[in-house]
Amino acid sequence: MARQLTTTQRLFRGFSSIDQIKPGTEITDIDLVKRDLLNHFFTMRGERVMRPEFGSIIWNLLFEPFNGTTREAIIADVQSIIAQEPRVELDKLDILEFEHGIRLNIAVFYVPFKAFGTFEIEFDRRNRIQHGTQSRLQIAEEI
């Protein structure tokens, strides 16, 4: 059984101007880890100066037929991105095609917090709209 996260301990600190009311707002811990992952997914591979391997190939696959080859490429990309982030482990991945893009439902385990979390990412081919939301977070019971 899992319990809800209630800790006020801050292991990680950072700043983000994305999705914030006031620019430069501090974010911490799981919110920071999630933001780091979303930044990686929302950056097209080759888009980052001096880091051509950073980013996701999913943007390049949006107009490809959604078949087994495309699905395997998406799975490999998600696994690679998650593996580069030592603070999380991939628990489950669901890939869904919708009318204008691809939706990823990702479940991860936040290692330093012993917490499971899920979030959804949508890649929209109409105008490169991206959405990411966290829907659930729970701490694993200690053994």
pTM score, whole prediction? 0.77
| Domain annotation covers residue 135 | yes
| Domain annotation covers residue 5 | no
| Domain annotation covers residue 2 | no
> For 17-55, what is each residue's pLDDT tens digit?
455 555 557 676 788 888 889 889 988 998 878 988 999
Say what the pLDDT of residue 100 is: 85
> For 95-140, what is each residue's pLDDT tens digit?
999 888 999 999 999 998 899 999 899 998 886 655 555 445 555 5
Say what the pLDDT of residue 54 is: 92
Say what the pLDDT of residue 11 is: 63
User: Looking only at Cα atoms, what is the longest distance across the chain?
Assistant: 47
Domain count, the chain: 1
Q: Which CATH number goes with the domain that contains 89? A: 3.10.450
Distance CA 121, CA 98 (A): 12
| Domain annotation covers residue 103 | yes
Q: 1-5, 59-63, 80-84 — which is least confidently predicted?
A: 1-5
| Domain annotation covers residue 94 | yes
| Domain annotation covers residue 115 | yes
Say what the pLDDT of residue 135 is: 45
* Domain extent at residue 89: 11-140
Residue 58 pLDDT more than 70? yes
CA 13 to chain centre: 18
| Domain annotation covers residue 67 | yes
| Domain annotation covers residue 4 | no
Any idea which residue has 């490429």 for tokens? 73
